[in-house]
Amino acid sequence: MDRLRTFIRRLRPRGPGSAPHRAFILLPALTVLILAVLWVTILMRLRVEKEAVLHDARVAAGTVASALDTHTLKTIHDVDAIALLVKYGLESSPETFDLKKYQAYGLITADTALQVTIAGADGHVVASTIPFSGAIDLSDRKHFRVHREHADVGLFLSDPVIGRISRQWSIQATRRINRPDGSFGGVVIVSENPAWLTDGFYTTAALGEHGMIAVLSNRGSMLSRRAGEAPSRTGDTLPTGYIDPHRNGETFTDPIDHVERIVASREVKRYGLTVMAGLSLAETLDDYYRMRRVYVTMASVISAILVGLSTWIAALILKLLKGREQLHRLAHTDRLTGLSNRGCIMDLLEEAVAAPDAVGRVAVIFVDLDRFKELNDTFGHQLGDTILADIARRLRDAAQGRAQVGRLGGDEFLVVIDDGAVSAPAIADAITAALEVPVSVHGNAYHVRASLGIAVLQAGERAADLVKTADHVMYDAKERGRASYTPPVRSALVA
């Protein structure tokens, strides 16, 4: 029976192992693989491009920070040069020193210093490049007290303060004035406009529209900070953690304006300052985002075309598979009854007969409907076809999966049994019992019976011989009385 089922499976349309089925299965897998390779390649490329852009931005931020460091040191150097010049002149000739002459001779330039002021040992202003009136006492200012209390302090830079003469924000760069005996004689104060530190340096070409540069005091105050086209800010208290001299190339969300920037810092240890430069992350990645949109759009279009093409090819393959299945059914199935046709059932029998242990096991039942031609001629072929289809269903049900039923032609059927010596009588009984029930068509009952011929394969017989033997037994049954059979004797069962 197992061999019979195996052969039946061979007669069916090829399954997933066939080339069209493999193509139908592999096509989506290949499409997914190609799409995966495409998108992985695109994403990896975009990742490399983004890293390259960010790397360039980190380098650029570091370069700007280094340049700002140099600019700040130069500004401080220029301011200190003025302070030293005034200090030297005053200490050398205290009686004849005239600050106005220094200003008139161009030794104090307006581009560098907002003003130069001299405060005496008591803290009162004794001279200034800006006119003033009344007594102006600077003794409470930190940049005055630090020199009065510490003789070894060189150039001191104050946090931004409002000047008492200029009434403007300024950074006070101061140096101590010593009397001939070395005692404290006052302070030279050079007031610098804080905006000079950033406004004189900021360029949109290097920093973009939302870049930022800042010069910060390590004491927590802002000397000068400029972001974009907004005016420079000075004197503000810095947020906690804003100053980090080791921040270099980090992405940093500025708590002051909440712009995300790539930031680099440089520490000016000598003066307790930190300079910072930041490039807007959004501006930095702007070109990358445009390129990413192009890449993603291109990959999406290619993906859509590939999926569409794959779907179209899959539809063609599916149509081909359906066509092959239909051709297979036409080639192996009887269209009227749905049973195996003559060629298919004979092929199956020849396969079963060719097995090494087929003798004594393989059997056939030849089924011939009694007086079916009379019924056909009397009531017409349409009714006859309906009855044949119902008889075929009953034969298939009687076989119950133990045998294969085929139509040889007309009203003749053949049942192939792999273990016929055991199952043939039972199947024959089931067929006879099934045919006892009238066939009902349009409310009319028709009694259709059959004569059966059973033959078991003997040594030396072929498939055609086995069918012929069963055919003879069936005709013997018809002559003795239709719709009956007797148990088998050797190779034949007499119906």
CA nearest to 277, candidates 348, 216, 186, 194: 216
The angle subtended at Cα 405 by Cα 404 and Cα 409, nearest 5°, is 145
**Residue ranges of the chain assigned to CATH 3.30.70.270:** 342-493
* Residues annotated as part of the active site: 411
Classify domain 12-114+193-322 at the CATH topology level: Beta-Lactamase (3.30.450)
Res 6: pLDDT = 56
Mean pLDDT by 10 residues, the chain (495 residues): 52 49 74 92 94 94 92 90 91 88 74 80 92 91 94 92 89 93 93 86 84 92 90 88 84 92 92 93 93 94 92 84 74 86 90 89 92 84 89 90 89 89 86 90 87 91 92 88 49 34
Which numeric CATH code is attached to 342-493? 3.30.70.270
**Residue ranges of the chain assigned to CATH 3.30.450.20:** 12-114+193-322
Tell me which H or E stretch contains 422: helix 420-436
0.85 exceeded by the pTM?
A: no
Q: Which residue has the tokens 């003879």?
A: 472
DSSP annotation string for 238-262: PPTT---TT-EEEEEE-TTT--EEE
CA nearest to 35, candidates 23, 47, 24, 43: 43
Res 172: pLDDT = 93
CA nearest to 367, candidates 309, 287, 451: 451
Euclidean distance between the first and the last CA atom of the chain, given in angstroms as a whole number = 24
Tokens of 488: 């088998």
pLDDT tens column, 182-239? 899 999 999 988 888 888 788 887 888 899 999 999 888 999 999 988 888 898 889 9
